[in-house]
Amino acid sequence: MADFPEVRGQQAAHSNVPAIAEQAVSELNLILVGPPGAGKGTQAEKLTEDFGLPYYATGNILRDAVAQGTELGKKAKEYMDAGDLVPDEVIIGVILEALASDEAAEGFLLDGFPRTVPQADALGAALQDVGRKISAVLLIDVPDEVIVKRLSGRRVSRAGRVYHVDFDPPKQEGRCDLDGSELIQRDDDKPETIRKRLAVYHDQTEPLVDYYEGRNLLRRFDGTRTPTEVHDHIRATVATLRLEDEL
């Protein structure tokens, strides 16, 4: 398999929030699922801090690859610009390779993968082969009409930090709070591409809700609440899961 050097976990930054990871040791293998604009990236940033997990967001990995013009980026660009999914065989190998790394040996947070039933099957089989399992699939639910408004106001930094012009503005307009880089609009946040991405979500990704519910792994969160409320709910759920696992 090709080696994609752009695949790296984005390690948790330090914060004053007490790290739950310091208090417990059991493995947490988490997946964030939800429609485009549900707040997966927004919540992931907080959860990686809470639980000290390496973070793999396939959208960020693919956008980096496109920006660097790598083999992976060349394969993915056309699909992403159209709001389509990249083919399963392109993305599955990338993620399985990342999860097999030392960094992910004691847990991980996935955002944007799996996104199809074949991707979910491949992930389940790969984890089972090495005696690991998914801890929980965290579904952030948001209706379509809210999504369009959210995504048209989204701005992102070069490193992938997410803002919203109204709901989560940076301290200085147009600049990232963390590294001062210019904030830009994603190419796929045009209204017609947003509608296409939503259709693709309902058609190809939503079947995973039943898939993981049937495996008793699904946890639902109301993504129309504020980012802080959504975070509080997810963090409490994950902390409880981990405690239950240790008992």
Applying CB under 6 A, does 162 fall inside the site for ligand AP5? yes
Annotation marks residue 74 as catalytic = no
Query: Which CB sits closer to ligand AP5, 84 or 213?
Result: 84
Binding of Mg ion by 107 (CB under 5 A):
no
In this structure, the strands spanning 136-141 and 218-222 are parallel
CA-wise closest residue to 138 among 10, 235, 51: 235
Q: Which residue is nearest to ligand AP5 (CB)?
A: 59
Task: Enter the tokens of residue 168.
Answer: 């989560």
Number of residues that bind Mg ion (CB under 5 A): 2
Give which of 59, 34, 215, 245 is closest to 128, Cα–Cα. 215
- 163-201 in b/e form (b: 16+ CB < 10 A) is bbeeeeebeeeebbeeeeeebeeeebbeeebbebbbebb
In the bound state with ligand AP5, the residue whose beta carbon lies nearer, of 52 and 227, is 227
Distance CA 204, CA 85 (A): 9
Is the separation of the CB atoms in 42 and 226 below 8 Å?
Answer: no
- Does 46 help bind ligand AP5 (rule: CB under 6 A)? no
C-beta of 83: minimal distance to ligand AP5 in Å?
6
Catalytic residue among 40, 63, 77, 161: 40
Size of residue set near ligand AP5 by CB under 6 A:
37
Contact status: 83 vs Mg ion (CB under 5 A): no
**Residue 55 near ligand AP5 by CB under 6 A:** no
| d(C-alpha 106, C-alpha 99), whole Å | 10
| DSSP element (H, E) containing 193 | helix 191-200
Instruction: Draw the binding track, 215-234, toward ligand AP5 (x: CB under 6 A; -: no contact).
Output: --------x--xx--x----
Q: With CA atoms as reference, report the closest residue to 31 among 160, 127, 168.
A: 127
By annotation, the residues acting in catalysis are: 40, 115, 154, 186, 197
Residues at the site binding Mg ion, with contacts judged by CB under 5 A: 40-41
Residues at the site binding ligand AP5, with contacts judged by CB under 6 A: 34, 36-42, 58-59, 62, 79-80, 83-86, 91, 112-113, 115, 119, 150-151, 153-154, 162-164, 167-168, 188, 197, 223, 226-227, 230
